[in-house]
Amino acid sequence: MSRIPLPREDQLDDEQREVYDDIKSGRRGAVLDLFMMLMHNPKLADRAQRLGVLLRYETSLETRLSELAVLTTAQYWSSSYEWHFHEKEALAGGLAPNIIEAVRSGSTPKFENDDEAAVYAYAREVLTNRHASDETYNAALAHFGNAGMVELTCLIGYYCMIALTLNEHGVPLPEGAEPALPPPGQ
């Protein structure tokens, strides 16, 4: 399925091996195929994974909110790989299953929490329109403040980059995993 081959662990050069070992010893504890694809340029793999750690674990956004933004982005790009790994994180972070299912199916969720509604509305508008209305932006800003809005916007942009990398290079789902979203382009 891959359009270009994933580098194999036993074929990594010294620079790739250093990045591989750094990723494996970090918060993720493993080197996902996404990072193996990026390993074609080890500096890119290193910087992308470091930015991902910052945006997922070191911002002012609660996990349920950041994972809602990631799932909204994954659904927009039809990135089943991205969805596969982040659905579990969203559930563990406290995002309700009915919200996750609504996002997956492309429906607007029925939110009980205003902060979740603000994240979803902002992410959908940014993705769909390439810009959020002042009303949507200001509603999110009221919840997250200046730093939170910068973090949220960068999180969405980062996962757009990840989705494009996964989709365009055909990074396969882990063995035995079924796609949760339709193939990209359909």
Around Cβ 154, how many Cβ atoms within 10 Å? 14
pTM for the predicted model, two decimal places: 0.95
SS3 186: coil
- Tokens found for residue 28: 């993720």
Task: Using pLDDT thresholds of 50, 70 and 90, give the confidence band for residue 1.
Answer: low
Is the pLDDT at 51 greater than 90? The verdict is: yes
How much is the average pLDDT of 141-170? Answer: 97
Encode pLDDT of 59-99 as tens digits.
999 999 999 999 999 999 999 999 999 999 999 999 999 99
Around Cβ 110, how many Cβ atoms within 10 Å? 10
> Count of H helices and E strands in the chain?
8, 0
Task: Using pLDDT thresholds of 50, 70 and 90, give the confidence band for residue 29.
Answer: confident
